[in-house]
């Protein structure tokens, strides 16, 4: 699909319902997030309030006026000031748009704006069975920086937690 009408903007409180809905679509798959339960809106609002737009922004991805994805930069070990130039990047795409290269457009934008938010290193934390994210990250030269073997337990289904990283210098 062509995304000629694709745009990105900083997320606003009014976007939380769409952000939460897109995130919650990934929970049942048990391959995209380590959650066993969907997030409610009160939890999502707390999460949103911990993302200052200057340092740890959340962006929505719009096709015309519809939110079809979002991404965020989150603090990695926020109490450790020596890690201030590191951000965990998370990205989610509405299920109707999976497999249409939207992730590529999102990652291009993520890498373009990261330096303007004083980020020199990006970390993506994902499940080892998330083949689509691994493919996207390696396409953009992220490397596996760490693996926590067999620590995720989806009610008997065990998998690894991976850390993929990219230095922007």
Greater confidence, 125 or 28? 125
What is the model's pLDDT at position 30? Answer: 87
Strands (DSSP E) found in 25-96: 58-63, 66-75, 86-93
User: pLDDT tens-digit profile of 133-143?
Assistant: 999 999 999 99
Higher pLDDT, 4 or 69: 69
pLDDT value for 4: 78
Residue 1 has a pLDDT of 58
Torsion angle of the four alpha carbons 26, 107, 60, 66, in this order, in degrees rounded to the nearest 10: -80
User: How much is the pTM?
Assistant: 0.94
Residue 2 pLDDT greater than 70, yes or no = no
**What is the torsional sign of CA 119, 125, 128, 134?**
negative
Where residue 5 falls among pLDDT bands split at 50, 70, 90? confident
Distance CA 14, CA 6 (A): 19
């Amino acid at each position: 699909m062509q995304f000629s009408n694709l745009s990105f903007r900083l997320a606003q409180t009014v976007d939380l319902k769409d952000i939460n809905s897109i995130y919650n679509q990934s929970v049942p798959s048990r391959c995209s997030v380590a959650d066993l339960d969907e997030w409610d809106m009160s939890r999502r609002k707390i999460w949103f309030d911990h993302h200052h737009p200057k340092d740890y922004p959340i962006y929505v991805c719009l096709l015309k006026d519809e939110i079809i994805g979002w991404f965020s930069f989150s603090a990695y070990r926020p109490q450790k000031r020596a890690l201030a130039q590191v951000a965990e990047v998370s990205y989610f795409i509405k299920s109707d748009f999976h497999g249409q290269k939207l992730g590529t457009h999102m990652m291009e934008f993520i890498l373009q704006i990261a330096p303007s938010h004083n980020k020199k290193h990006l970390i993506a934390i994902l499940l080892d069975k998330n083949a689509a994210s691994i493919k996207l990250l390696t396409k953009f030269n992220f490397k596996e920086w760490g693996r926590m073997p067999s620590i995720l337990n989806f009610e008997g289904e065990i998998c690894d937690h991976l850390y993929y990283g990219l230095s922007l210098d």
